[in-house]
Each structure stands twice: as C-alpha cells, then as structure tokens.
Chain A
C-alpha cells in the first residue's frame, strides 16, 4: 500500500527520528501509485503499473550533511538508514550554504486528492482508451496515445518539530490522430486531478477533426505573423518562464531578470499590461503542494501584475545573504500542479479567430529548445494542426513552421487573451500575439 494517510506517515516519521543522534535530522516519506496504457497504430502496445514507497533521511552534524534512502520499513531497516545518513554526514565536506532546519509551521491542507482518480484500475484505463480507439477506427484514422494516472502522498518531519503532509492525484491523456495517407495530423493533451473531467472520446474527436482538416497543407512564406496560440501552444512557449522569476540568478547577472550594471529588474514593466501571472497551490483546477522540500510554506504568489514583475522566488540561504525575505517558488515538490496561472478574458479560440484579419492558428509546438539564455529566445516547430486565418475565418491548413522567438518578446506583443484553461501544469488563456517570428518551413506532418 503506497498511499499512507497522515497518521500512518506521522507514526513512521516519528519512529525514524527516534533513532537519530545527529545535530539536525530531516526525514521525508513519499509514496506513489501510478498506472499507464499506451497505444499506437490503433492497438494497445504497452501498459503498466508502478507502486513506490520511499523514505529519505538527511542528517547533519554542523554544516556536514549526509543523505540515505530506503524502501524497507521494519525497525532494523529504519535504524540502519539513519545510521547510514549519519555516517555519510561525518564524511561529507562542510556545506557553506547550509541553513538550519525550520521549526513547525501551519501549512494549509492541500486539495489535490480525488478518490475516483486514485481508484482507477487497468480496466478503467483500457475502457477509456477503447473510447479513443473507437473514434479513430470509425473515422478510418489512426490513433496513437498515452493515458497515465497517479495518486501520491508526500510527508516530512524534522528534529525541530516541523511536520508536513499532503496528497494528490493526477490523470493525463494525450492522443495523436493521423489520416491513413499521412498527410494530416491532430493532437490533444490534457491533465486533470479529477478523472471525472476527462472525456477521452470527446478529446479524440477534437484530434480527429484536426487530423482531417489539416490535410493538404499549403506552404506560405515564413516571416512575422500574428498568431493565435491555443492554450497548449501557449503553455509550450510559456510554461517555463515562471522559473525565471528567481532572485539569485538575477542577482548573479545571468538571467533575463538581471539589470545592466548590476541588480535586478524587479518592479519593472517587463511585459504588456494585459499580462498577469500568479501561482496558487489551492487553485481548484491546478492544486499543488502547500509546502516545499525546504519546509517553507507555498502560498498564492503574484509574479507579474499588469506587466510588472512583482516577486522573485528566493531560497533561505540567498535571502539571508541579501538581507531579504525568502519566498518559495511555485510547485513545491514532485507533484504536478501549483504551477503558472495566467489570467485572461472570456473569449474562446473561435472568438479570437473571428477578430483576426490575417494570422496563423497554432495547435501546439514541438521540440522547443533554448537558443539564448539571456533573452530566452527559443526555437521549435508548429505541429499537429497549423492554419491560415483571413478575415476572421480559417482559410486553409499550412505547412509547419520553425520559429525563433522569446516568450518575453511574445508577452510584449499581446493583442488579446482568451479564457484560461489548464494545460499540463499551467493554466493559460489562448492568446493572440502580433509579430511572432517564423524562420523556416518544415515538410513534417
């Protein structure tokens, strides 16, 4: 049984701490059950289940720290793992950035656990995939997809009395539908905490429609275009930007948040005033951990307000060095969720198209890699449904493009934001962006 409740976790953690002889000891106990099913060429190819329960001990003598892990839970094993961590600590070099452990804190209760998602079985997954396969077969199309669900818990206790516990569920589904000729392709990818929100049949129909409508793509010249990015494409481009709101790298001069001549750009208007970004572990659509691995609370934080950068995440060590307050970043650990949330309006993708004189609709991006860490210029390609828009209507599918663009520049060129939806570990609106830079064409379907 990999999912322990709060009392069960607390009992094991207390027992582990009772064996400690170190100056400071921190113990983490995490468990996860996950299952998946994969299919391709309209048939299931693999399926699996994994169950893990792991205990990690971190022991410190002064500034020397040792870590050890174990997945056996009898008393002798628990004593052994503590002894091993302490032995490694005595041998370890001093860590000049060591920070004393935090004491107790009143962490908010996490809201990310949905029993029906945790209760999914191989049969549940197979039935959901059967729905997807039916759509593809009925339409004489070919589907390849992946469905994965997980339930997990995290807990932590230290020798200063801190105890934290949280549990979470997640289910994600993606499917690529292609036509038999290989000239059209569509894709959807959605994640939820609650499996009740996942409709594999409807999502596969969306991908199938894209596959059919993207066939026969025309080549148009690369260049700068107004683009409408569906939320998936937006999250491909922007999902990582929130990690850049970080104090230390900004202070060190190696971040887009670094200021010429020294210092940071905190408080500056870096983006269009329509841009508002925050994170909130208690957001119902994107719940996350309410504490991080350092024992700090993770709370709702505004990162960008009306285009102005309002906060930078900061570790306890760096905060002490700079004489400022530490601030936990979003996420808070290995659970998904708790990530970037960007506000928007009420417009749908269709509404954004209606208001566009000339532009390109992008379903998703692919193989995005950083080109320049200073400007965050990235390169990548459109994929699985790219369309030309004229006078408020989709006119025809177009060949895929390679882009070279910075999300910072993108967020300065915002024309309109639609209604936000969850995409992976972000909540983002569909967005209309002017002057998006496409640099070459691709023949890939």
Chain B
C-alpha cells in the first residue's frame, strides 16, 4: 500500500511538472493515446484534403492512434448533437457564428481560449469575433470563402456587357440578356439556403451590415419599412423574370446546367461553385467573377464569407492531443496547403493563397470589405433561419404574399429571441 501511494504521488508530481513546463515544451512531448476526429467534409475534394492533413499530423506524432470518421455533410448536421452529448470524439468540424451557439450554451464544446494567445489572435483576427461567445473562444477556423456573382464571360462579351458596379447597371445587363433569350440568374431553391444568399446581399446593399446583423440577431422587426425596401429591390429582379423558371424544383447543383449550357448567365454563389463549373467543361476564360454591385452608394460594402471550423467537445477524452491538432490546423503553412487543395481562402493572414484568379479576386474583395457576414443561416438562430429561408423561397415564387410572409416571420422572431 505505501509503495503504491508513493508511486502515485510521484506520478502526480511528474504530471504537474509537465503541466507547469508550459506549452512550449508540451508541444515537444510526444503525444500518445487515441485521437478520434469526426469530419463533415464528405465531398470528394475536401475529404481528400482532410485525410491528407491528418496523415501529415500523424507523421509528426507517430505514437498517436488517430481514428478519423467522415460523416455525410447533411447527416452530420443532425448527428452532431447526439455525438457531442454521448460518446464524443476529441475533435469535430462545425461552423462559426450562431451555428455553434446552442452547443456552447449547452456546455458541449470546450473553451479553447488558451489557444488564442496574442499571436494567434493577430493572425486569425478576421474570424475571432465569429468564434467568440461570452468573451471566450470555442474553436478555431480553418477556411473561409467569398460569395459573389459568377458569370459567363463569353456571354457577357457576346452581348457587350461589362461587370456592373451599380444596381442599375446590374439590371440593365440583365435586361439585355433577357432580350436575347438568356435568363439572368441560375438558382435552385429546393434546399432553401440559396435564396438566403440573395436576401443577404440585397439587404446588405440596401440597409448595410449593421442593420443586417440587427435583423438576424432579432433586434429589428421583420415588418420594418427597411426590410420592405430590401424586398422591393429584390422584387424588381423577380418582376423582370430574371431567375430561371421552376427553381423550386432544383438543388443548387441541379441548376448548374442552365449556366453551363448558356441558358442563364449568372449565379450568385460561394466560391465552391467554380470547381463543378470547371468539371462541367467551362474554361476559366468562360467564367468570370464580380462583387455584388452597390445599391445605395452611401452604404459600405460588406460580404458574405462563411467560416468553417474545428472544435473540441467538452467530453473529449484526449484534450491534450486535440489541442495540438487544433494548433496544427491554424498553422500558417498547413492552412496554405489545405486551402490550396480546397480552393478556398486561409484564415491565417500569414498563409499564402493559391494562385487562382477567383481566389485572388475573392481575397482582395474580402480584404477590402467593410465587414464580413457569415451567411443568413449562420447569423440567425436555426429556427429563425428556417422560417426566413422558407419565406424567401415563397417570395421568389409569389411576391404578392409579402405581407403575409413578413407577418409570419415577425411572429417567429417574437418567439425565438
């Protein structure tokens, strides 16, 4: 008995010494045990990227038994709450902003403020706010991407159009296309969120970032005149018949052929649309990108740029290894590599950006942006997001229902917040 006690005491002391030695030497200590990682990056390219990244981390820590589970992106959204509250992994992917709020409030995510030391905070400054709840940070970002208007450059040349800078030019371009039998915008609203992209941009341009944030945070009633102004602007496009017909039947991928075949000329989307457009046979000469044009000159331009993140569940078993992994995720060199593969933008400002015209344009646009919004369904709480996106879709089909839609959204707002 006494011997066992002494051993225990010695062990405890040793552990404390290691703990006291600080992060610098802790990183040198070889990591052991299991590290279970759950990922939602189920599409082929991101999947390969993540597997690569984990393989490189494994090389650095050969004694660590890493077990990776990749879950279908849509299924992940519903499974997350289950596995966070029972049988949690050590590391899990998710999204920044309001999308992580319920899990933080339920105490399911680990406070990782210690990873956000001064230097890291400086390098990741652009996303720190969206990772912060109650003054603490609950995860680290690994990528983000710009939203904007992707268009068929060859069609624009054919009809003598140029990248619009004002709302009027935007509509004039559209009218020219319509006169030539080409729809302006491809869109598939079957899964609703694509319509939210349009709402985000028209609202950001009509009322500005601060108002948009107030609205998604529930501080402004949906029946406000300024919200109506946004919908009035949107309606101008709808009344022109600018969108492809029957968009409620398609997912965003199913609407791509319209742009590829030249039946529609533009697509408001995140940068992830470039890869499938290229795969469908369009060359970079045929694809162009421009910022969503200004509607009101006095309003500074803010952009949508959703951030994807890594988190440590509160019930994780191997938090030491998980922290090491998160440190590796935000590392500038690693972020350069994975974002080059993902075709997206690194958060770490010391990372280099892949030589790609869309990434370069997007990076420049985001660097000069007045502010960055996450996206409607990440800025607004889930219930509000769902009701809102359904309302947007209904508005795109039946714009005359606007009053009923806004009243419904207002009722939801009063209940949710």
Check if A and B associate.
no
